Amino acid sequence: MTAIPRCWDAEVVGVRDAGPFQVLTVSGAPGPSRPGQFAAVTVGGDRLLRRQMWLDRTVDSEDLLEVIVGHHAGLTPRTRGDRLNVIAPLGRPFSMPNAPLSVLLVGSGPASAALVPLAEALVAAGCRVVCLLLGEHVYGRLELRRAASTMRHEPAPATAEQIRGHVIDSLDPEPDLVYSAGSAKQIAAYVDLLGDLPHQVALDAGPICGTGVCQGCVLPVQGNDGYARLARICREGAVFHGHHILWAQTGTDFEYLVGAGP
């Protein structure tokens, strides 16, 4: 069970630094959340759109919520007492395996923050977790190292070929399932290497409205009915089944969708 999203003015009651990221504890959690869910948070100043911030965990007993904030998010570092407007919890959580499987996590860019609570939950469920982090602005090297059984990190910005090489290495031995987090473009660079492996992705939506009203964050997906349609990352995501996304068409004109289905 996850809570119904709510919009509220929150106060920052705790700040923890984690490399280029901060973990903020804010007041007023609307209820339980699960790995893969996020908050849409205002940035302040003259910035209009919200930023997608991955929920770390709900501090249940105290009605507090932890969100992971990257400096990428255009937020100047926050201090206790700052006020933010928060919409949370948003999005579909990751589905969890119902057996202790071997799992590969691949994180690229700021969205890799989504993998931190996931890794913890997987380890708690007895899974063997291998983690590959790509890129220099990766959150949670420290946090993930604690959870993952094996941790590979490619700190420098890698070429597409290098990224593919790292993914190929991480697929040996082959895991039972794969979770990715990153932008659609980053994941599209290696997704074909995963073949038929079960694959869930948490997508970076960029600046968002967070309510689903503006259609500013769409990508093409194959519905269960077999028809292609556009899904909003901030509303129908941000977690998707990797095999439902039409990776080759995320950056193209969507005219081919006209008349494609109901």
Partner 1 sequence: MNSDLRAVIGALPLDVAVVSAAGCAGPELQPYTDLAGFGALITRSVTLEAHPGRPMPRLVETPAGLLNAIGTPGPGVAGFVSDELPRLVRTGARIIVSISATTVADFGRVAAALRHCDGISALEINISSPVLEEGVLPFAADARGAAAVVHAVRRNTPAAWPVLAKLSGDVADVPSVAIACRDAGAAAVSLINAVRGVALDTDSGVSALGSGLGGLSGPAIRPIALKAVWDVHARAPDLPILAGGGVTDGGSALSMVLAGASAVSVGSGLLNDPRCVDRVTGELDRLVGERGGSLSALIGAAHGGSETEWEAG
Q: Decide if residue 113 touches partner 1 (CB under 8 A).
A: no
Q: Are 94 and 118 in contact (CB under 8 A)?
A: yes
Of the ranges 98-106, 171-179, 209-217, 239-247, which one interacts with partner 1 (CB under 8 A)?
209-217
Count residues near partner 1 (CB under 8 A).
37
The residues, ordered by sequence, that sit 6+ positions from 238 with a Cβ below 8 Å of its Cβ are 36, 38, 52, 90, 91, 92, 114, 202, 203, 204, 205
Of partner 1, ligand FES, none, which one does residue 1 interact with (CB within 5 to 8 Å by kind)?
Answer: none
Q: Decide if residue 212 touches ligand FES (CB under 6 A).
A: yes
Q: Which of 65, 217, 219, 238 touches ligand FES by CB under 6 A?
A: 217
Count residues near ligand FES (CB under 6 A).
11
Parallel/antiparallel/unpaired status of strands 64-70 and 128-134: unpaired
Instruction: Give the nearer residue to ligand FES in terms of CB position, either 34 or 232.
Output: 232
Q: Decide if residue 250 touches partner 1 (CB under 8 A).
A: yes
Residue 130 tokens read as 């291998």
Of the ranges 151-159, 163-171, 189-197, 207-215, which one interacts with partner 1 (CB under 8 A)?
207-215
Q: Decide if residue 16 touches partner 1 (CB under 8 A).
A: no
- Phi and psi at 16, nearest 5°, equal -125, 130
Residue 258 CB coordination number (10 Å): 6
Instruction: Report the site for partner 1 in 75-104 (rule: CB under 8 A).
Output: 85, 87
Cα separation values, 238 from 35, 59, 80, 91, 159, Å: 11, 22, 28, 6, 25
The alpha carbon of 159 is separated from its chain's Cα centroid by a whole number of angstroms, namely 22
What is the rounded distance in angstroms from the CA atom of residue 39 to the CA atom of residue 235?
Answer: 12
Q: Which of 4, 81, 161, 196 touches partner 1 by CB under 8 A?
A: 4
Q: Which of 67, 73, 208, 238 touches ligand FES by CB under 6 A?
A: 208
Q: Decide if residue 51 touches ligand FES (CB under 6 A).
A: no
- Phi and psi at 175, nearest 5°, equal -75, 170
Q: Which of 11, 16, 47, 169 touches partner 1 by CB under 8 A?
A: 47
Q: Are 237 and 184 in contact (CB under 8 A)?
A: no
Q: Decide if residue 253 touches partner 1 (CB under 8 A).
A: yes
Of partner 1, ligand FES, none, which one does residue 95 interact with (CB within 5 to 8 Å by kind)?
Answer: none
Interface with ligand FES (CB under 6 A): 208-209, 212-217, 232, 234-235
